[in-house]
Structure 1
Amino acid sequence: MGECSVRPIVVNQVGYPLRGEKLAVFTGGSHQFRVVEEATGAVVLEGVSGPARFDVSCGATLHTGDFSELTAPGRYRIEQVDGAASAVFSLAERPYHELQQGLLKAFYYYRCGVTLTEEFAGPWAHQACHTAEGRVHGNELLVQDSAGGWHDAGDYGKYSGPGAKAVADLLLAYELYPSSFESAIPLPESDGVMLDVLHECKVELDWLFKMFDPATGGVFHKLTTLKFPGLDVMPEDDRAELYFSPVSAAATGDVAAVMALAARIYEPFDHVYAEKCLQAALRAWEWLERHPQVPGFVNPPDIVTGEYGDAVDTDERYWAAAELLRTTGEEKYHTAVQELAQLDYPKYSLGWADMGGYGTLAYLLRGETIADAALYATLKEGLLAEAARLMEQSAADGYRISLREEDYIWGSNMLVMNHALLLLAAEHVSGDRRYAACALDHLHYLLGRNVLDISYVTGFGDQSVRHPHHRPSVGDGVEAPVPGLVAGGPDRGLHDEYVVEHLQGKPAAQCFADHELSYSTNEVTIYWNSPAVFVAARFNLLK
């Protein structure tokens, strides 16, 4: 597996919008540069890069070249006088249309329990998988339907909380930026009536209905085999027994919230389905009310698949109350939001463990005129303060993103995209487009404007991830990986054997390996794709 060369000029390898700031990042000293039209070789702009700065996170001296004056559609590269050149990139009105389509199509490739046909999956087609019933852990005589939904990541587990986060990101993207989703992917369900993003979310929602414990109304935390299959095992060949892990408050809160959100979104298209979602949300909420104090989830001793442990469930309860308030308007949920908002937990985080940010967004999106004035003001002020903090961190970073050196953790690209999503939420509630400009810098980073000169999205960019830790991509015999998958990104903690052997002493932002064995830097998941869809959708709005 050959390593990509790192060019001294890095750009967003997909492209830039016609209007707004356009920057390339150079390593080394200051340089004269020129922008060259790919087709003709004509020089269309010349410039000089700005002052250099040493960036600790990436371990390099960096400076930027501004080519914002160029606004003509086309394909270009940036060159230095010594002949060094960047990737070729596009300038277009909607440069991220195909990217958004690919990021969303990835969820189709993650589908479980159905045959992915060549018509829609191309060379990445495979047979139906994991169609057997699952056993309830601790009550193995009880079996129930477990098929459907999305595989969570590079393995074949399915997890209620992370699945709810992914659906929430996609539904919020549709709610805020519906015109960005008008083009069909297409999917087998495409019908010209309901947009494909809603068809795809329904795949996961239909599976989440199956995660309810019929005896209690709580939600099983996850559905997995006892251990992971081999890295080259295709999904249809993974035939080990499936187990529903015990109910957790975190999973139950997440599912209550996302079902309440879905009830609103699907109501104009299918009243019966929307009502089913609402009833599921109410059932989960009733379980939460009956179980105010619940221990955090930990894996049963004989299950060694991903735990997604979560010791604090207050944030999930807050999100559930806020979504139920927004959907039903009932005052009891308003009271619950007000009470839960007084407790101490992150209220602006959008990660699978800390879901409080979704509760805050639900409350703010409901509208100021029907909110508690003091609470609305506090939450809005807090959101904008967090967004301002991210902007300040981005301004201090050589690649204009909000990660500090210590933020290059396992799944750092989730932070990159979650931060961008939060910045866009701040834009939505404030009208200040500076937040969007900062969010776009985060997308530039994901697509190649980074110290490794790599696009972290498979199939997009001339030096994109080629060898993700993703079982179908390893086992299918197809040279190219499944496209549209977001890789986890640099992890300074060196949490797998491959990077321990190969990346010792590297700066934080360089602790990434495009190798199938590097599960801590190069795995993929649905909830790294979902905020990327949201961000791409913001910059694909039809004018």
Structure 2
Amino acid sequence: MRNPLFRSLSLALVAVAVTPAVSGQRAADATASATASAAARAAVEPGPVRVNQIGYATGADKIATVVAAATTPLTWQLTDDKGRTAATGTTRVVGADKASGDHVHQADFSHATGQGVHRLTVAGAGTSVPFTVTGEPLHPDLGREAMQYFYFHRMGTPVEAEYLQSAAHAHAALHPGDKSVPCYRNWCDKDSGSGADGKGSKAGEEQRLNVAGSWADAGDFGIYPVNHAIAAWALLNLYERRPRAYPDGSLSVPERANGLPDLLDEVAYGSRFMSGMLPKSGLASHKVHNHEWSPFPVKDIAAENALPRSAMPPSTNATYAVARTNAQLSRVLRKFDAEKASALWASAQDAWKRAEARPDVDHPGTGEDTDAEGGGDYPDTQNSDDRYAAAAELYLTAEQRADGSAEGYRTAVTGSAHYGEIDAFDWGRVAPAGTLSLLTVPNGLPPTDLSRMRENLRAVADSLVATQRGEGYPALISGATAYPWGSNSAVVNRMMLLGTAYDLTRDRGHLKAMHRAMDYLLGTNAMGISYVTGYGAHRETDLHDRLAWLQYPATPYPSGWLSGGPNSADISDPVTPTGRPAAKSYAGPGTAPSAWSSKENTINWNAPLVWVATYLKSTAPDLTSR
């Protein structure tokens, strides 16, 4: 998710304020959606009976949301695939739902545990799409498919057909020149920081950075340490909680059969650039991207690679991001590749020292003299949370290595104002990620402190359950507030909190709330669609992605990509509707090139989708009965 820093440009005949953190701010985008087929533009009405379009675990809460004007309960009937009645009941009148503006009822058929295909019919409203009730994992391939998102978006290497869901998406390497990028307006040598070694370039020699090996951040081809860090953390946290989830040979990646779990192969590839963001001295570059926005779609890889591209000025939070990612990656790789782990550890410690030397340098933002146009800003003026999250990872890794620096990092952790913080998180608010790592990896912190963190997590999980129960649709976001950019990422991040809480408390209410949040993503929402590509009868079919759009609609988008979701807070494109309720601020079918405010896809949205899909699969036996 990205916070906006608005600027204006003309888009067709409409003047709009555009966030530089989005991809696709080009006049051509406004007309590109016209290339979508008529079939793609013709939305199929999902109907007023909204269910999880995939299905429900036998022991999960099974609650449909029904859009109906009636002010008294309505009768409902659950039937199986042979038309036999499996259960009956009456709805609960919820009334006006703040998030959507809909008048809704809820039909609770949780007591119906018979397995198989079912439909729900509500008198006076209609019948749902068919869905499954099962004791088996509901979407066993979703985690693996969501992981393929990252190979699809690798840069610096050819993306090959044999590892993709569709061979049509194979392409030559994007930006192989990232192995040597200049510092925009030569800031590396003008930067006043002394850095760890105090060395600069020789007179007349322009410093260049090697940032090869990365994932394209979103629909664009920028690489951003602060956003990469939270995405990599989510995947590595999944590994540290469930190390057997994606073993060697389980994913479609070129590195399979190399003795390293495939999840770690993917994160290691995507994170190569992080160390290279550090110049010879001083802070890490805040981002690397083109000097202008890439065309939409990208039809010519060679032309894209020829666009001018630079490392933009530095920031403290980007430097802490390098430290925490490399420290965590070093920790998990150590038993597989001690040499690489040691190199990452040295880089993490170096980044920490640089950030500590200049603890409050913020990226200056896009401007004629400081930054180029073709990438997002990721503005963040609070660095204390970045320091805490980095200290947590460095402490855990130093303790694992019996490194003498562990005590210093531990002091940075326990002395932070963020110590033990648990709350909603995203790329710009990362302290909870540090605390979740402390609750994941065994460590020497005081047991009373760890107990307090667990209780804080339980309280947050309980509050999320309460929020969900108060909504007409099972979102984990209060309808009393605007839906933020990437609201679906807010949902999956909160699902991670619920899952971690369930691991520690075994409170089934937390696990059931995770399932209900998945219901929201897969159809029980105000739009009546599944926000995950490839899943559901009425599903999202086009997202704001320059590479995938080139083949759309002849070749469908790959399965397992999470759409950004409704956004009523920061609309800056010409097609995401304004003036609508928060949960309905979402662009329609076929509009993706111009719908970056609501239909964007990013690494930090798909990473937690991998986490929650994998988690729900692994805990499926816990909800096989009521």
> Which TM-score band applies after superposition, normalised by the shorter structure?
over 0.9
Q: Deviations over 1:16-63 (max 9, x none)?
A: 22322222221114333333334x444433333233332111111222
Say whether 1:323 aligns with 2:393. yes
For 1:137, the equivalent position in structure 2 comes to 184
Quick one: which of 360, 368, 372 aligns to 1:303? 372
Give the deviation of 1:151 after TM superposition. Answer: 0.5
Quick one: which of 463, 471, 481 aligns to 2:546? 471
Runs of 4+ residues over 4 Å off in structure 1: none
TM-score (norm 2): 0.81
Identity over aligned pairs, percent: 28
Q: Mark the CA change 1:422 to 1:379 in structure 2 (over 3 Å): closer, same or farther.
A: same
Give the deviation of 1:252 after TM superposition. Answer: 1.2
What residue identity is the alignment partner of 2:139?
Y
Q: C-alpha distance in 2, partners of 1:189/1:136?
A: 32
Q: Deviations over 1:255-310 (max 9, x none)?
A: 21121111221122222222222122111111122223323552353412200011
For 1:523, the equivalent position in structure 2 comes to 600
Give the deviation of 1:373 after TM superposition. Answer: 4.8
For 2:279, the equivalent position in structure 1 comes to 213
Q: Mark the CA change 1:497 to 1:267 in structure 2 (over 3 Å): closer, same or farther.
A: closer
Quick one: which of 327, 351, 354 aligns to 2:429? 354
For 1:275, the equivalent position in structure 2 comes to 342
Give the deviation of 1:367 after TM superposition. Answer: 4.5
For 2:33, the equivalent position in structure 1 comes to none
Say whether 1:447 aligns with 2:522. yes
Quick one: which of 480, 491, 500 aligns to 1:425? 500
Quick one: which of 266, 273, 290 aligns to 1:200? 266
Q: C-alpha distance in 1, partners of 2:126/2:63?
A: 17
Give the deviation of 1:430 after TM superposition. Answer: 2.8
For 2:95, the equivalent position in structure 1 comes to 53
Q: Deviations over 1:151-210 (max 9, x none)?
A: 011111111111111111011112223344358232222217333211111111222232
For 1:62, the equivalent position in structure 2 comes to 104
For 1:9, the equivalent position in structure 2 comes to 49
- Equivalent residue runs for 1:115-514 within 5 Å: 115-121=158-164, 122=166, 123-132=168-177, 133-139=180-186, 141-182=206-247, 184-191=250-257, 193-216=259-282, 218-234=283-299, 236=301, 237-239=303-305, 240-301=307-368, 302-304=371-373, 305-329=375-399, 330-341=406-417, 348-367=423-442, 370-373=444-447, 375-405=449-479, 406-479=481-554, 480-493=556-569, 495-499=571-575, 503-514=577-588
Q: Which shifted more, 42-51 or 299-308?
A: 42-51
| Partners of 1:245 and 1:300 within 8 A in 2 | no
Q: Mark the CA change 1:505 to 1:495 in structure 2 (over 3 Å): closer, same or farther.
A: closer
| Partners of 2:211 and 2:274 within 8 A in 1 | no
| Partners of 1:348 and 1:360 within 8 A in 2 | no
Q: C-alpha distance in 2, partners of 1:284/1:522?
A: 34
For 2:130, the equivalent position in structure 1 comes to 88
Q: CA RMSD in A?
A: 2.4
Name which one, 1 or 2, has greater alpha-carbon Rg.
Answer: 2
| Partners of 1:296 and 1:312 within 8 A in 2 | no
Q: C-alpha distance in 1, partners of 2:617/2:258?
A: 20
Q: Which shifted more, 436-445 or 227-236?
A: 227-236
Q: Mark the CA change 1:31 to 1:189 in structure 2 (over 3 Å): closer, same or farther.
A: farther
Q: Which shifted more, 92-101 or 474-483?
A: 474-483
| Partners of 1:249 and 1:294 within 8 A in 2 | yes
Q: C-alpha distance in 1, partners of 2:331/2:299?
A: 37
Q: C-alpha distance in 1, partners of 2:256/2:553?
A: 27
Q: Secondary structure at the match of 1:224?
A: strand
Q: Deviations over 1:441-490 (max 9, x none)?
A: 21211111101111111122121112211111222355322432211111
For 2:76, the equivalent position in structure 1 comes to 33
Q: C-alpha distance in 2, partners of 1:187/1:441?
A: 32
| Partners of 2:46 and 2:528 within 8 A in 1 | yes
Number of aligned positions between the proteins: 537
Q: Which shifted more, 444-453 or 40-49?
A: 40-49
| Partners of 2:323 and 2:351 within 8 A in 1 | yes
| Partners of 2:212 and 2:272 within 8 A in 1 | no
What residue identity is the alignment partner of 2:397?
T
Q: Mark the CA change 1:426 to 1:253 in structure 2 (over 3 Å): closer, same or farther.
A: same
TM-score (norm 1): 0.92
Q: Secondary structure at the match of 2:64?
A: strand
| Partners of 2:317 and 2:362 within 8 A in 1 | no
| Partners of 1:36 and 1:76 within 8 A in 2 | yes
Q: C-alpha distance in 1, partners of 2:258/2:508?
A: 32
What residue identity is the alignment partner of 2:219?
G
Q: Mark the CA change 1:80 to 1:483 in structure 2 (over 3 Å): closer, same or farther.
A: same
| Partners of 1:490 and 1:509 within 8 A in 2 | yes
Unaligned runs of 5+ in 2: 1-40, 188-205, 400-405, 622-626
Q: Which shifted more, 280-289 or 377-386?
A: 377-386
